[in-house]
Amino acid sequence: MISSQAQIGENVTFGKGVIIEHDAIIGNNVKIGHYSIIETGTIIGDNCLIGSHVKLGKSTARNANMISNKDEEIFPLTIGNEVIISDHCVLYHSTIINNQVFIGDLASIREQVVVGKNSVIGRQAIIENQTQIGKQVTIQTGSYITANMIIEDEVFIGPCCSTSNDKYMKSGGKNLKGPIIKKGAKLGNHATLLPNITIGEFAIIGAGAIVVKDVNARETIIGVAGKLLDK
Amino acid sequence: MISSQAQIGENVTFGKGVIIEHDAIIGNNVKIGHYSIIETGTIIGDNCLIGSHVKLGKSTARNANMISNKDEEIFPLTIGNEVIISDHCVLYHSTIINNQVFIGDLASIREQVVVGKNSVIGRQAIIENQTQIGKQVTIQTGSYITANMIIEDEVFIGPCCSTSNDKYMKSGGKNLKGPIIKKGAKLGNHATLLPNITIGEFAIIGAGAIVVKDVNARETIIGVAGKLLDK
Amino acid sequence: MISSQAQIGENVTFGKGVIIEHDAIIGNNVKIGHYSIIETGTIIGDNCLIGSHVKLGKSTARNANMISNKDEEIFPLTIGNEVIISDHCVLYHSTIINNQVFIGDLASIREQVVVGKNSVIGRQAIIENQTQIGKQVTIQTGSYITANMIIEDEVFIGPCCSTSNDKYMKSGGKNLKGPIIKKGAKLGNHATLLPNITIGEFAIIGAGAIVVKDVNARETIIGVAGKLLDK
């Protein structure tokens, strides 16, 4: 079910049951696995490998209990060259995946995200909307990257880390601000980051640490780093 | 592959390869994405939006090493009106999803669960069996809600929280009892709840906190709240 | 789309759109759900139940930023008798799943893994490559089992646990060594294990504990068990 209004490059191979909606643009030498769905307008570069049961370019839906970012700019999901997107991934519209990115099985990336060149998004990792990820970043399996977060180049985030952006927990969508993780910083597995903190360049956060305030460049933080709330 | 013994409402649209098994009942103006599977007897209300690669009304399977709840009442998965169920979700039989609920991508909900009106179940969240979730509850991305748990109205559970119900860890299935989270309580991201505790009304649990005993109404708890085991 | 070069046993049932690639070998009385994909050479024993939207025998892909284990022996995914593999699972090549194993929905198992007889891998659990899992082990929902780890018989791992194998975080792939969990040990939910530690026989690790060094047999550990780094 490939729309006649899609642009398909040379030497593209489709698995069984692939769906390409209208106005999608697919480069040369792309391979798409079985039962994957490429939604309207999605742009895929050359030499990409798309897994099975994948959805690319998903539209947003929400109920009355969820925050809407009405002033977002809408554009197609745009995927560079030599990108690998593994099985069961769900990537939304209005996001940019740069060249040579690898995205593991069962991962999900929301709208208004940029993933820089050669970065790795692990299996089951989730990237929320409006987050910027630099080049050669590693986000390992199962980590949760919140909305409105900045991750600079060469950052390493171990498995099962969790981040947050809403100090007052559902305070109405104002002032959501995720952490900033500066160049080359490393987070051990299962670390927890509070909202609106900065992890300095080449800082090291130990496994299981709870980071509640800024960490200086090249500092090492372990355990429970401080109090959560000012009282 | 739509069973002739299913009841399909007006203005229902099916994606490619949708499977509707016999005795399913689907309301008016429902939209079902590609390659989704609606199992025997499942009931879907009006104006629902079902994603792609979804399974609704799944039967239970287990091996000899898993606990069976043999005295459960069996009935079809029952979904209200204006419910949104996103891509790759798996919902089991004998569960009730009330009106206007939103369920994110890759989430999974077991048997004997009730989700109240207008609640949100985030992406990759997992809800175990025999758990009650009230109205206007938010369970954010990747949180794990154990079996035999009660979550009252307007509770907020941040991303990547974990709950448990078995103090003695595989003690044989007796006395499993998850936490009770009272009305309006809020949990920060990556919080851990021990079995059989009560979080009071409008209590606040900090990010990364480990909660080992009851929390009073309107109390704020941060860090490691106490010892795990009585010795 | 069943290859004429696959060997299919007696009384095998296929859901809609199932894909069986060449040289796959499927035993008797196997049931395969809708839209599942069995890749080249995969071996499935008798009386197995395979869910929908499953991929078995997946090939490995990586980008330039990821470690390759070039000296691994390559062989087909090999699944024993009476194994249950639930919906949306992804299992890689060169792994062995023994008889009566249960694998929950949305789980993923990498290459060079052995899962022993009658063990349970929970929903959304992830097992990395080159890890050995014994008999009658329970790994509950959402737990993350790192590469190069040994889990002995009758171990119980609660939900949402996290393990790691790289003390220096992306130090280049040398000296990766996950924890060893000895026979009958139990981990509470959301526990964190550091690399290269041993949890002794029948030890108990409390919910949310961060375990940074060896734990003796039959010892109980709670809270933050020690410092992460030698300084």
When CB atoms are compared, the residue of A33, A105, A188 closest to C169 is: A188
Q: CA separation (Å) from B70 to B73, B94, C104, C138, C141?
A: 9, 13, 19, 21, 21
Q: Tens of pLDDT along C91-150?
A: 999 999 999 999 999 999 999 999 999 999 999 999 999 999 999 999 999 999 999 999
Contact criterion met (CB < 8 Å) for C61 and A84: yes
**Percent of chain C at pLDDT exceeding 70:** 92
ipTM above 0.85, yes or no: yes
Same domain, C101 and C4: yes
Q: Is A119 contained in some domain?
A: no
Residue A29 belongs to domain with CATH number: 2.160.10.10
Same domain, B138 and B43: no
Query: What is the pLDDT, as a whole number, of residue B227?
Result: 35
Q: Is B4 contained in some domain?
A: yes
| Residues in chain C closer than 8 A to A86 (CB atoms) | 61, 90
Spans of chain B, pLDDT less than 50: 226-231
Residue of A nearest to C127 (CA): A141
When CB atoms are compared, the residue of A17, A87, A159 closest to C144 is: A159
When CB atoms are compared, the residue of C106, C124, C162 closest to A159 is: C162
Query: What is the pLDDT, as a whole number, of residue A228?
Result: 32
Query: What is the pLDDT, as a whole number, of residue B192?
Result: 93
Q: What is the mean pLDDT of residues C47-70?
A: 86
Q: Tens of pLDDT along A196-231?
A: 999 999 999 988 888 988 999 999 888 765 333 333
- The Cα B201–Cα B186 span in angstroms is 9
When CB atoms are compared, the residue of C17, C192, C224 closest to A189 is: C192
Same domain, C184 and C208: yes
Q: What is the mean pLDDT of residues C12-19?
A: 97
Q: Which chains touch C (3 or more CB pairs under 8 A)?
A: A, B
User: Which amino acid appears at position B53 of this protein?
Assistant: H
Q: Order of strands across the sheet with B96-97?
A: B7-8, B25-26, B43-44, B78-79, B96-97, B114-115, B132-133, B150-151, B180-181, B198-199
Exposed/middle/buried for B198, CB within 10 Å: 0-12, 13-18, 19+? middle
Contact at 8 Å (CB) between A116 and A133?
Answer: yes
Query: What is the pLDDT, as a whole number, of residue C65?
Result: 74
pLDDT band with cut points at 50, 70 and 90 for residue C169: confident
Q: Which chains touch B (3 or more CB pairs under 8 A)?
A: A, C
Same domain, B137 and B43: no
Count interface pairs A-B at CB distance under 8 A: 125
Q: Is A91 contained in some domain?
A: yes
Interface list for chain B against chain C, based on CB atoms closer than 8 Å = 1, 17, 19, 35, 37, 53, 55, 58, 61-66, 88, 90, 106, 108, 124, 126, 128, 142, 144, 146, 160, 162-164, 166, 169-170, 190, 192, 194, 210, 212, 224, 227-229
Number of domains in chain C: 2
| Residues in chain B closer than 8 A to C86 (CB atoms) | 61, 90
Contact at 8 Å (CB) between A108 and A91?
Answer: yes
| Cα C39 to the center of its chain, rounded Å | 18
Contact criterion met (CB < 8 Å) for C53 and A82: no
Contact criterion met (CB < 8 Å) for C224 and A224: yes
Q: pLDDT tens per residue, chain A (231 residues)? A: 899 999 999 999 999 999 999 999 999 999 999 999 999 999 999 999 999 999 999 988 777 777 666 667 899 999 999 999 999 999 999 999 999 999 999 999 999 999 999 999 999 999 999 999 999 999 999 999 999 999 999 999 999 999 999 887 776 666 789 999 999 999 999 999 999 999 999 999 988 888 988 999 999 888 765 333 333
Contact criterion met (CB < 8 Å) for A62 and B17: no
Same domain, B197 and B137: yes
| Residues in chain A closer than 8 A to B79 (CB atoms) | none
When CB atoms are compared, the residue of A126, A160, A192 closest to B189 is: A192
Neighbour tally for C174: CB within 10 Å: 8
Same domain, A166 and A212: yes
Same domain, C50 and C38: yes
Q: Is B168 contained in some domain?
A: yes
Query: What is the pLDDT, as a whole number, of residue A70?
Result: 61
Contact criterion met (CB < 8 Å) for A144 and B206: no
When CB atoms are compared, the residue of B63, B169, B170 closest to C100 is: B63
Q: Is C68 contained in some domain?
A: no
Q: Order of strands across the sheet with A198-199?
A: A7-8, A25-26, A43-44, A78-79, A96-97, A114-115, A132-133, A150-151, A180-181, A198-199
Assess whether pLDDT exceeds 70 at residue C173: no
| Residues in chain B closer than 8 A to A65 (CB atoms) | 100, 102, 118-120, 136, 138
Query: What is the pLDDT, as a whole number, of residue B73?
Result: 83
Disruptive mutation site among C47, C48, C87, C121 for chain B (greatest number of B CBs within 10 Å): C87
Same domain, A143 and A229: yes
Query: What is the pLDDT, as a whole number, of residue A226?
Result: 39
Per-residue b or e along A140-169, where b marks 16 or more CB atoms closer than 10 Å to that residue's CB: bbbbbbbbbbbbbbbbbbbbbbbbbbbbeb
Q: What is the mean pLDDT of residues C160-174?
A: 81
Q: Is A121 contained in some domain?
A: no
| Residues in chain C closer than 8 A to A34 (CB atoms) | 19, 35, 37
For residue A50, the surrounding DSSP H or E stretch is strand A49-50
Assess whether pLDDT exceeds 60 at residue C230: no
Q: Tens of pLDDT along C28-53?
A: 999 999 999 999 999 999 999 999 99
- The Cα B106–Cα B104 span in angstroms is 7
Same domain, C84 and C122: no
Query: What is the pLDDT, as a whole number, of residue A64?
Result: 76
Residue of C nearest to A81 (CA): C63
Interface list for chain C against chain B, based on CB atoms closer than 8 Å = 16-17, 33-35, 49, 52-53, 82, 84, 86-88, 100-102, 105-106, 118-120, 123-124, 136, 138, 141-142, 156, 158-160, 186, 188-190, 204, 206-209, 220, 222-224
Q: Is C143 contained in some domain?
A: yes
Same domain, C33 and C77: yes
Same domain, A92 and A23: yes
Question: B183: distance to nearest CA of chain A, Å?
Answer: 15
Same domain, A98 and A132: no
Query: What is the pLDDT, as a whole number, of residue C88?
Result: 98
Residue of B nearest to C191 (CA): B192
| Residues in chain C closer than 8 A to B144 (CB atoms) | 141-142, 159-160, 189
pLDDT band with cut points at 50, 70 and 90 for residue C228: very low
Query: What is the pLDDT, as a whole number, of residue B229?
Result: 30
When CB atoms are compared, the residue of C66, C88, C124 closest to A102 is: C66
Query: What is the pLDDT, as a whole number, of residue A222?
Result: 81
Q: Mean pLDDT, chain A, as a whole number?
A: 91
Q: Order of strands across the sheet with C84-85?
A: C13-14, C31-32, C49-50, C84-85, C102-103, C120-121, C138-139, C156-157, C186-187, C204-205, C220-221
Write out the residue range of the structural domain in which residue A34 sits: 1-60+75-107
Contact criterion met (CB < 8 Å) for A64 and B206: no
Question: B187: distance to nearest CA of chain C, Å?
Answer: 15
Contact at 8 Å (CB) between A58 and A40?
Answer: no
| Residues in chain C closer than 8 A to A155 (CB atoms) | none
Question: A192: distance to nearest CA of chain B, Å?
Answer: 6
